[in-house]
Homo-oligomer: A and B are copies of this chain.
Amino acid sequence: MKREKTIREADEKQKIINHLSRLEGQIKGVKKMVNEDKYCNDILVQLAAIDKSIKSLSRTVLNRHMQTCVLEQIKEGKDEVINEVIELLKRFDL
């Protein structure tokens, strides 16, 4: 059942790439803080922000996934995609 490709529009793709680049930058920032012995509370505030940012990106990609791939596959009779979604939600603790 597993699909190999998801063709995203250039604009949408760029937004996701930008979001991931920002995340990379944030992680580099935390590394610098640890190297400079910054106060743990401040490091944890940054880690919480990174966590929120990943959750937000995941939500964007998940919603798009459901509105396109999941819908299409069900219409093509590939009902098992619903179980794939259920497995995925479990990974996000739902």
Contact = CB atoms under 8 A, between A and B. Distances in A.
Interface in A57-76: 57-59, 61-71, 74-75
Given A47-B54, A67-B82, A20 B34 contact: yes
A86 B58 CA distance: 12
A82 B43 CA distance: 17
Secondary structure at the A interface, as helix, strand, loop or mixed, is helix
A12 to B, nearest CB: 10
Given A31-B21, A93-B93, A69 B40 contact: yes
Contact of A86 (B39, B63, B88): B63
Contacts of A24: 24, 27-28, 31
Interface of A: 2-8, 13, 16-17, 20-21, 23-24, 27-28, 30-31, 34-35, 37-45, 47-52, 54-55, 57-59, 61-71, 74-75, 79, 82-86, 88-94
